[in-house]
Amino acid sequence: MARRKKKTEASEYFLAPEEPKTEWQKFLVHLEENIKLYVAGTLFIILCLAIGGLLRMSAAVKDKNIMTEYAEIVMEEDAGKRLAKYEELSPKAGRWTAEVLYRQGETALEIGDFSAAKEAFNAVLKDHGKSEFAPSALDGLAFALNEEGKLQEALDAYDRLTQEWPSAFVSRRAFLAKGALLEKLDRPAEAVAAYQHQRDLFPDSSSGRNAETAMNTLLEKHPELKPAESADAGMPSPEESVSTEVLSTSNNESAAE
């Protein structure tokens, strides 16, 4: 029986796999050993990117559809139909929700539906209190409360408006309405102050002129609220007294002659 030949050291050297020496070789070996894992990971990333792109595309299409629907509602001349369409759009309006709700409230005011107006304005204040439409919504809410005869609630709303959004245009023109409410609540001194503040804010505007007219009318009814005249009012100045005395002396001398 023939004996098996022993492998030489040379043959063992050629048969043994070469040990990777550089980092690149080590990476290639690792990649070869885990090729399925890398392929699966790459496919997963591609799939995520594709899904993200589709979602963005879908959101863009949805946003465009909302804008189109919104524009069509704005063009609706019938306020009742417009209100119904706003009510249908607002729950799905996305980033336009605050604006749509505000327009919904304004349309409700247009047809005298104060309950629907308050609901829309309150939704803006509750869910979108940081939006640019919040102060206008509060102004609309105060108006609706005033129209319903809820004078103190309306005044509270105007007070909140002027305190929380003092620089907003609707806030700066709210003092005329505040003055009228204070008059109705039999608080004439506060009403005069509100009218005067409105006049000072917009002296050359219609609101400023209306405030001044209302203030003057109120002061006629309550003359005790007029600023007290100075005790020295109407008294001649020292210079005027000297001039008068000199003139009088001169006249007397002329008469004597």
Averaged over successive runs of 10 residues, the pLDDT of the chain (257 residues) comes to: 53 55 72 70 64 52 79 93 95 94 98 98 97 98 98 98 97 97 97 97 95 96 81 46 45 45
DSSP state of 222: -
Reduced to 3 states (helix: H, G, I; strand: E, B; else coil), residue 34 is coil
pLDDT value of residue 177: 97
Under a CB-based contact definition with an 8 Å cutoff, are residues 128 and 98 in contact?
A: yes
Under a CB-based contact definition with an 8 Å cutoff, are residues 181 and 156 in contact?
A: no
Q: 77: number of CA atoms within 13 Å, CB side?
A: 0
Q: pTM score, two decimals?
A: 0.67
pLDDT value of residue 3: 57
Ordered DSSP codes for 176-200: HHHHHHHHHTT-HHHHHHHHHHHHH
Which domains occur in the chain, in start order?
A: 54-165 (1.25.40.10), 173-224 (no CATH)
- Among candidates 98, 135, 95, 143, which has minimal Cα distance to 118? 143
CA trace torsion 195, 198, 202, 203 (10° rounding) = 30
Q: How many CB atoms lie within 10 A of CB 190?
A: 15
pLDDT value of residue 65: 81
- Positive or negative: CA dihedral 233, 237, 241, 244: negative
Under a CB-based contact definition with an 8 Å cutoff, are residues 211 and 179 in contact?
A: yes
